[in-house]
Every structure is written in structure tokens, then in C-alpha cells.
Amino acid sequence: MVRVNAELIWKSPHFFNPINERELDLRGNKIPLIENLGATEDQFDTLDLSDNEIVKLDNLPYLNRLGTLIINNNRITRINPNIAQFLPKLHTLILTNNRIVNLVEIDPLVSLPNLHILSLLDNNVTKKPNYRLYVIHRLKSLLVLDFKKIKTKERLEAKNLFASKEAIEEVQKVPVKTSPPVETPNVTEATEEQLTPKVVAPTPEQIIAIKAAIVNSQTLEEVARLEKALKSGQLPEDLKGLTDNMVLDNVAEKHGDMFHDGKGQADDESNDTQEQRSTDSTPMEQE
């Protein structure tokens, strides 16, 4: 974790952004909390604290110049109720991907008179019924919510829906619907063995068969699959049946060769025997 101090602030990138505002970039430092921002001496229009580990949006100094606060991808669950006292000119607040759950946690933003752009995308609060209309009703100065422009029709709908204090309180009480945790079933060792694909080492004949299959393969995928089996020295069950057929063919072919070789050898022996008999009979006939 990194603590915010004057050294970090002035070593971090600071530049004029595309809209010609002076910006300080404190992204990705694993900062756990906001502190010592007074060391900025209020010289920045935009402050980027994204990709850190901040839990609360509080402990802010008085920054009269700051107009944009970008604080994506943190762990923020709460906002200081007095935020407007420290950031009176804040007009853009980007809180995408944080941990705001309840609608009441948005209420501190009501005190920001110039807040025009707000993003709460990827916070659980967005799953609340009538979330968008609630935010529109509460934050009167807002022009853009979650990167969508607020329409006049939405303002009227929000006004009618939350015309009474009771309606506001009722929607604040509705819990966020969350999926129940998925329990992982206990798997016995026997079951694990059943689920684990059996792998057997290929015999020399099967290795030959795999090589033959590689040569005869019709697709690159099949070639890659067979080459993997060959290199690993292990033969999955689903390949075993395939190679067994090839082995049988090879065996049959070998037996056929042996048969033909044996037949040829027998013929040769028969001829030799006949010749020997012929030779042996010659002297007798001469006598």
C-alpha cells in the first residue's frame, strides 16, 4: 500500500488534459485512504484516484478549484455527508465500479450545488428499484447520469413517483436483490476419480498409429491434437479407440507380410528339397 504525501503527489503525472484542465494522476498506487491532498495546493482542476483501494470518500481538504473527481475501481461504500464543504465547485464525479449498495448512501451528494455529471455504474445500488428516478429526483442539478443524458420526461416521472416523503422512505428500505451464494458440493475421492479422465500411456504400436494418423489427418486441429498426445507420452481414452483400430490394421498388415514371407520361404524350401532329391537320385540312375 502507498500513502498519499507530498512526494507522491509531485512525482505522479500531472498535465493538461484534452479539455485543457490541469489534471493530477494518482491511479493504481494501492492507496487505502484519501489523505494529505492539501499538498496539491489546490492547483488541479481534475483529480484521478482510480484503481486504488479507497473505502470512503472523505478526509478531503478544501479544494476550491477541483471540478472533476474520478475514482473508478475502488472499494467506496460511504461518502462524507459534508462533501460540499470541501469541494464546492465539483461538477463531475465518476464512481464507476465501487461498492455503494443503498440509495441513502447517495444522499450526501445532494449538497453539491454544481454536480452535473455522475456515474455509479457497476455499483450494487444501481440494482435498486427506481434507482435512476430516485437519483434524478434527489440531485436536482444533475444533467447526465451513468453517461446518459437526463430527459425532461424522466424528471417529470421522478417528480410524480417521489411526490411524498413516504415514497422516498419506502424505496430506501428495499433491499438489493443478490444471488444466494453457490455452495460447492462435497466431492469424495471416488467421485473425483470418476470425474477425472483416465489417461494411459501409449504402447509403441499406438505411437506408430498416432504418427500415421497425423500424416492422414484432414484438419490442422486433429494434427495438433495428435501431436499433443504424442509429445505428452500419454494417450487419452478417447484416442485409444481410434488408435486401437490403427494398431489392428498395422498388426494385420504385419501378419500379412509374415504370411507372405512364410509362404515364400516354404516355396523356397520345397524347391530346395526337390532339387536335393533330384541330385540324390542322379547317381542311382547312373548306376
> One digit per residue, pLDDT tens: the chain, 287 residues?
799 999 999 999 999 999 999 999 999 999 999 999 999 999 999 999 999 999 999 999 999 999 999 999 999 999 999 999 999 999 999 999 999 999 999 999 999 999 999 999 999 999 999 999 999 999 999 999 999 999 999 999 999 998 877 778 777 775 544 444 444 444 444 444 444 444 445 555 566 666 666 666 667 767 677 766 666 555 555 555 554 454 444 444 444 444 344 444 445 444 554 545 444 444 444 43
Instruction: Tell me, yes or no, whether 55 lies in a domain.
Output: yes
If asked whether residues 70 and 165 sit together in one domain, one would say yes
If asked whether residues 14 and 132 sit together in one domain, one would say yes
pLDDT for residue 164: 77
If asked whether residues 124 and 236 sit together in one domain, one would say no
Amino acid occupying residue 139: L
Beta strands (DSSP E) in 180-275 are 199-200, 235-236
pLDDT for residue 188: 41
Q: Is 254 exposed, middle or buried (0-12, 13-18, 19+ CB in 10 A)?
A: exposed
User: How far, in Å, CA of 176 to CA of 276, rounded?
Assistant: 104
Instruction: Tell me, yes or no, whether 284 lies in a domain.
Output: no
Query: 121, 138, 173: which is the final residue of a domain?
Result: 173
If asked whether residues 167 and 225 sit together in one domain, one would say no
pLDDT for residue 123: 97
If asked whether residues 160 and 200 sit together in one domain, one would say no
Instruction: Tell me, yes or no, whether 285 lies in a domain.
Output: no
Q: Is 80 exposed, middle or buried (0-12, 13-18, 19+ CB in 10 A)?
A: middle
Measured at the CA of 166, the angle between CA 163 and CA 167, to 5 degrees, comes to 55
Measured at the CA of 206, the angle between CA 200 and CA 208, to 5 degrees, comes to 145
If asked whether residues 44 and 129 sit together in one domain, one would say yes
User: How far, in Å, CA of 141 to CA of 122, rounded?
Assistant: 22
Q: What SS3 state is found at 33?
A: coil
If asked whether residues 243 and 105 sit together in one domain, one would say no
Total domains in the fold of the chain: 2
If asked whether residues 75 and 124 sit together in one domain, one would say yes
pLDDT for residue 169: 75
pLDDT for residue 236: 55
If asked whether residues 201 and 257 sit together in one domain, one would say yes
Range of the domain at 128: 6-173
